[in-house]
Structure 1
Amino acid sequence: MKRLLGLWALFSLLAGCVSGLIDPHGYDETGTASYYGARHHGNKTASGEPFNSNALTAAHRRLPFGTQVKVTNLNNNKSVVVRINDRGPHARGRLIDLSHKAAQQLGMLGNGTARVRVQAITN
């Protein structure tokens, strides 16, 4: 019985994650970005691929894996296009977690966070 309840709880959790995905078409949000620390390099992402701090990738809570988004630092107007390949950020009040390379291109390494606009790129 405990095993059955455990499986049901796991299934419910996974179903909630999948149903929580949003349609990227027209996605346009403003919020706070942060970036992954070096200790995450090589760890497996939620999509199953290894995290590469030198790639232009990001974590988002609800956008589908593979979605490309344009991230613009609202403090300096620098932009970068990244691909969503992980879930997060796990810190409260954050919209997106970026790879080190993406954060570098946005000029946010010194502060660690930046106010950003995130726009999905649709084909």
Structure 2
Amino acid sequence: MQRSLILLGLFILLAGCASNTVDSPGAAAVGAGTGNASYYGARHHGKKTASGERFDQNALTAAHRTLPFGSRVLVTNLRNDKTVTVRINDRGPFVRGRIIDVSKKAAEQLDMIRDGVAPVSIKLLRP
């Protein structure tokens, strides 16, 4: 019984360290990686974000699962090389394969409104 609990605890710890959204081991720790980005806009406008502030679809903000609130991140659309710097103020995305949700304004600058989802790279500029 005790051995089973130890194995279960070890499994839970290892599962929490797993990630399939970055290119190399340790990249998540420095805020770099590639994956898909999506955007959110009017439906969420004015609602509270995980950081406690109100979501503004016209601001250059984004949601990331782990980066600290207030972090600045350079997002590059890999289809067209357009970039935007966003500030992390929310948690998400919660869809497999997506690494960041950007505001509508940021999506416009990345030229991804029409597609809704785009392959991107992210780079942490300032925690």
Q: Place the TM-score, normalised by the shorter chain, in its bin.
A: 0.7 to 0.9
Aligned-partner residue type, residue 34 of structure 2: T
Which residue does 2:9 correspond to in 1? Answer: none
Q: TM-score normalised to the size of structure 2?
A: 0.76
Question: Please, what is the CA RMSD of the aligned residues?
Answer: 2.2
Cα deviation, 1:49-90, whole Å, max 9, x if unaligned, reads 000000000000000000000000000000000000000012
Matched positions, count: 104
Displacement of 1:24: 7.7
Q: How does 1:63-78 map to 2 (within 5 A)?
A: 63-78=67-82
Aligned-partner residue type, residue 76 of structure 1: N
Aligned-partner residue type, residue 82 of structure 1: V
Change (3 A) 1:43 1:117: same
Change (3 A) 1:55 1:30: same
Gaps of 5+ in 1: 1-19
SS of equivalent residue, structure 2 residue 124: strand
Q: TM-score normalised to the size of structure 1?
A: 0.78
Gaps of 5+ in 2: 1-16, 18-25
Q: How does 1:41-60 map to 2 (within 5 A)?
A: 41-60=45-64
Aligned-partner residue type, residue 68 of structure 1: R
Displacement of 1:38: 1.1
Percent identity among equivalent residues? 60
Shift >4 Å, 4+ stretches? 22-25
